[in-house]
Homo-oligomer: A and B are copies of this chain.
Amino acid sequence: MLSKKTKYAFHALIYLAQHQAQGAVLIQEISEAHQISHKFLENILLELRKAGFLGSKKGKGGGYYLIKKPEEIQLSKIIRLLDGPIALLPCVSLNYYEPCEECKEETQCGLNKVMAQVRDETLKILENKSLADIIEAY
Protein backbone atom coordinates (compact mmCIF):
# COMPACT_ATOMS: atom_id res chain seq x y z
CA MET A 1 0.00 0.00 0.00
CA LEU A 2 1.14 3.49 -0.76
CA SER A 3 1.58 5.76 2.23
CA LYS A 4 -0.44 8.91 2.75
CA LYS A 5 2.71 10.83 2.02
CA THR A 6 2.84 9.42 -1.47
CA LYS A 7 -0.85 9.89 -2.05
CA TYR A 8 -0.63 13.50 -0.93
CA ALA A 9 2.37 13.99 -3.19
CA PHE A 10 0.36 12.79 -6.15
CA HIS A 11 -2.55 15.03 -5.29
CA ALA A 12 -0.27 18.00 -4.94
CA LEU A 13 1.50 17.29 -8.20
CA ILE A 14 -1.78 16.90 -10.02
CA TYR A 15 -2.98 20.16 -8.54
CA LEU A 16 0.18 21.97 -9.55
CA ALA A 17 -0.02 20.57 -13.06
CA GLN A 18 -3.59 21.72 -13.41
CA HIS A 19 -2.75 25.20 -12.14
CA GLN A 20 0.46 25.72 -14.03
CA ALA A 21 -0.93 28.82 -15.68
CA GLN A 22 -1.30 30.60 -12.37
CA GLY A 23 2.41 30.38 -11.58
CA ALA A 24 3.44 29.78 -7.99
CA VAL A 25 0.78 28.08 -5.87
CA LEU A 26 0.55 28.41 -2.09
CA ILE A 27 0.94 25.34 0.13
CA GLN A 28 -2.16 26.64 1.84
CA GLU A 29 -4.18 26.49 -1.34
CA ILE A 30 -3.31 22.86 -2.01
CA SER A 31 -3.75 21.79 1.58
CA GLU A 32 -7.21 23.32 1.68
CA ALA A 33 -8.25 21.92 -1.67
CA HIS A 34 -7.28 18.41 -0.60
CA GLN A 35 -7.80 18.58 3.14
CA ILE A 36 -4.19 17.87 3.94
CA SER A 37 -2.47 19.19 7.04
CA HIS A 38 -0.57 22.29 5.96
CA LYS A 39 2.62 21.37 7.76
CA PHE A 40 2.64 17.79 6.62
CA LEU A 41 2.18 18.86 3.05
CA GLU A 42 4.93 21.41 3.48
CA ASN A 43 7.40 18.65 4.25
CA ILE A 44 6.28 16.69 1.23
CA LEU A 45 6.59 19.63 -1.15
CA LEU A 46 10.02 20.29 0.26
CA GLU A 47 11.09 16.78 -0.61
CA LEU A 48 9.65 17.10 -4.07
CA ARG A 49 11.56 20.31 -4.57
CA LYS A 50 14.83 18.86 -3.31
CA ALA A 51 14.37 15.96 -5.67
CA GLY A 52 14.04 18.35 -8.57
CA PHE A 53 10.37 18.05 -9.40
CA LEU A 54 9.28 21.40 -8.04
CA GLY A 55 10.58 24.92 -7.86
CA SER A 56 9.65 27.42 -5.21
CA LYS A 57 9.53 31.10 -4.55
CA LYS A 58 9.60 32.73 -1.15
CA GLY A 59 7.82 35.80 0.09
CA LYS A 60 4.64 37.42 -1.09
CA GLY A 61 3.41 35.95 -4.32
CA GLY A 62 5.55 32.92 -3.65
CA GLY A 63 4.66 29.26 -3.67
CA TYR A 64 5.46 26.07 -5.53
CA TYR A 65 5.39 25.21 -9.19
CA LEU A 66 6.34 22.33 -11.44
CA ILE A 67 9.73 22.56 -13.05
CA LYS A 68 9.35 19.39 -15.04
CA LYS A 69 6.75 18.68 -17.65
CA PRO A 70 4.06 16.34 -16.40
CA GLU A 71 5.08 13.97 -19.21
CA GLU A 72 8.53 13.71 -17.69
CA ILE A 73 7.46 12.82 -14.18
CA GLN A 74 7.45 9.05 -13.87
CA LEU A 75 5.13 7.64 -11.23
CA SER A 76 7.88 5.27 -10.14
CA LYS A 77 10.11 8.18 -9.20
CA ILE A 78 7.52 9.76 -6.96
CA ILE A 79 6.75 6.52 -5.19
CA ARG A 80 10.42 5.75 -4.62
CA LEU A 81 11.11 9.21 -3.30
CA LEU A 82 8.37 9.18 -0.70
CA ASP A 83 7.72 5.52 0.00
CA GLY A 84 11.01 3.88 -0.74
CA PRO A 85 11.30 0.56 -2.52
CA ILE A 86 8.74 -0.61 -5.02
CA ALA A 87 9.93 -4.21 -4.88
CA LEU A 88 8.36 -6.63 -2.42
CA LEU A 89 11.68 -7.89 -1.11
CA PRO A 90 14.96 -6.07 -0.44
CA CYS A 91 16.85 -8.71 -2.41
CA VAL A 92 15.05 -7.75 -5.63
CA SER A 93 15.02 -4.02 -5.12
CA LEU A 94 16.90 -2.07 -7.76
CA ASN A 95 17.20 1.14 -5.76
CA TYR A 96 17.21 -0.14 -2.21
CA TYR A 97 18.88 -3.49 -2.63
CA GLU A 98 19.93 -5.48 0.39
CA PRO A 99 21.27 -9.00 0.23
CA CYS A 100 19.05 -11.79 1.49
CA GLU A 101 20.04 -12.96 4.92
CA GLU A 102 19.30 -16.59 4.26
CA CYS A 103 20.09 -17.23 0.63
CA LYS A 104 23.62 -17.96 -0.38
CA GLU A 105 22.69 -17.84 -4.02
CA GLU A 106 19.89 -15.37 -4.58
CA THR A 107 19.76 -16.17 -8.25
CA GLN A 108 18.75 -19.69 -7.39
CA CYS A 109 16.05 -18.75 -4.92
CA GLY A 110 12.51 -19.31 -6.13
CA LEU A 111 11.03 -16.55 -4.06
CA ASN A 112 13.61 -14.13 -5.41
CA LYS A 113 12.73 -15.11 -8.95
CA VAL A 114 9.01 -14.58 -8.53
CA MET A 115 9.44 -11.29 -6.74
CA ALA A 116 11.85 -10.05 -9.39
CA GLN A 117 9.20 -10.85 -11.95
CA VAL A 118 6.59 -8.90 -9.99
CA ARG A 119 9.00 -6.00 -9.72
CA ASP A 120 9.64 -6.02 -13.46
CA GLU A 121 5.98 -6.01 -14.37
CA THR A 122 5.23 -3.30 -11.84
CA LEU A 123 8.03 -1.10 -13.08
CA LYS A 124 7.06 -1.67 -16.67
CA ILE A 125 3.88 0.20 -15.79
CA LEU A 126 5.06 2.75 -13.25
CA GLU A 127 8.07 3.84 -15.26
CA ASN A 128 6.05 4.28 -18.40
CA LYS A 129 3.21 6.17 -16.83
CA SER A 130 3.70 9.82 -16.03
CA LEU A 131 1.89 12.53 -14.18
CA ALA A 132 0.43 13.54 -17.53
CA ASP A 133 -1.14 10.11 -17.92
CA ILE A 134 -2.97 10.19 -14.65
CA ILE A 135 -4.20 13.71 -15.20
CA GLU A 136 -5.80 12.87 -18.50
CA ALA A 137 -8.59 10.92 -16.89
CA TYR A 138 -8.68 12.86 -13.68
Contacts and interface: CB of A to CB of B under 8 A. Distances in A.
Copies held by the complex: 2
Given A122-B118, A122-B122, A113 B90 contact: no
Interface in A65-122: 75, 84-85, 87-90, 102, 108-111, 113-114, 117-118, 121-122
A29 interface: no
Given A108-B137, A135-B110, A138-B110, A1 B87 contact: yes
A2 B88 contact: yes
Contacts of A134: 109-111, 113-114
A54 B51 CA distance: 47
A1 B133 contact: no
A32 interface: no
A102 B102 CA distance: 43
A34 B102 contact: yes
A124 B84 CA distance: 24
CB-CB nearest 7 A-B residue pairs? A110-B134, A121-B121, A110-B137, A111-B134, A110-B138, A114-B129, A2-B88
